[in-house]
């Protein structure tokens, strides 16, 4: 099995370790060697999954091939961490739950570094970029495109012909109606129903979703 580490030693990191175990039960693929985290002391034990191997410096000094999953739930922080990893030995596989449903493999494409928890499904002509997090029970309709560094929370429903740009955070149980174009750095609240195009850099809540000012 290939060696894999997780960047991020918090609760999300443990969830990804659980996901790896589910994958290995069906198809033995990875051996989890531990965690990297700049905010947790080296050698700290993370539940029964392993210990912290160090931070970014230790990761960039790793001298053998290593697969890495980035366990960060904030879009901007996720991108920041990824762009600091310069070690050519590091690879970023897609970590996909075995029960993922892909209705049309011939028209489905996906980049690298994506994490997909259980219960997710995609229809036909779906394109997914890099380093997106699908937090479970998410449904994507036909002709959906999702770019990079998006955090999609559980039970999200995305209708057909929706496009999503970079660094967006979409809340639990939200709905995006058909043909909506979501740009960059948008936050959509839990349970919100997005019916019109949002403006970049803003937060939307409610049904129908409206711009929220703090």
pLDDT tens digits, 6-28: 999 999 999 999 999 999 999 99
The three-state secondary structure class of 30 is strand
Token representation of residue 193: 């129903």
Is the pLDDT confidence value at 170 over 90? yes
Instruction: Report how far residue 136's alpha carbon sits from residue 35's, in angstroms, rounded to the nearest whole number.
Output: 22
Please check whether residue 167 is in contact with residue 184, taking contact to mean a CB–CB distance below 8 angstroms: yes
Residue 53's contacts (CB-CB under 8 Å, 6 or more residues apart) are: 5, 33, 34, 35, 36, 42, 59
- In angstroms, the CA 87 to CA 93 distance is 15
Say what the pLDDT of residue 191 is. 98
Percent of the chain residues past pLDDT 90, beyond the cut: 99
Averaged confidence pLDDT in the chain: 98
pLDDT for res 213: 83
Looking at residue 145, its pLDDT comes to: 98
- pLDDT recorded at residue 40: 97
Length of the chain: 214
Q: pTM to 2 decimals?
A: 0.96
Residue 23: what pLDDT?
A: 98
Q: What is the mean pLDDT of residues 69-96?
A: 98
pLDDT bin (cut points 50, 70, 90) of residue 206 is very high
Average pLDDT over residues 92-120: 98
CB 120 within 8 A of CB 102: no
pLDDT at 214: 73
């Amino acid at each position: 099995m290939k060696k894999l580490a997780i960047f991020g030693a918090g609760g999300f990191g443990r969830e990804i370790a659980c996901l790896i175990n589910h994958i290995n039960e069906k198809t033995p693929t990875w051996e989890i060697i531990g965690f990297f985290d700049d905010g947790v002391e080296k050698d700290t034990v993370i539940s029964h999954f392993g210990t912290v191997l160090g931070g970014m410096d230790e990761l960039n000094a790793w001298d053998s091939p290593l697969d890495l999953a980035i366990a960060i739930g904030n879009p901007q922080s996720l991108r920041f961490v990824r762009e600091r990893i310069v070690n050519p030995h590091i690879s970023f596989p897609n970590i996909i739950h075995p029960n993922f449903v892909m209705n049309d493999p011939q028209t489905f494409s996906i980049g690298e570094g994506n994490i997909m928890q259980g219960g997710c499904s995609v229809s036909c002509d779906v394109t997914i970029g890099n380093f997106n997090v699908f937090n479970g029970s998410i449904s994507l309709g036909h002709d959906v495109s999702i770019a990079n560094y998006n955090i999609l929370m559980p039970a999200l429903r995305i209708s057909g012909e929706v496009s999503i740009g970079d660094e967006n955070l979409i809340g639990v149980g939200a709905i995006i109606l058909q043909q909506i174009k979501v740009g960059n750095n948008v936050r959509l609240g839990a349970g919100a129903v997005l019916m019109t195009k949002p403006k970049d850099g803003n937060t939307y809540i409610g049904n129908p979703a409206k711009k929220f000012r703090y």
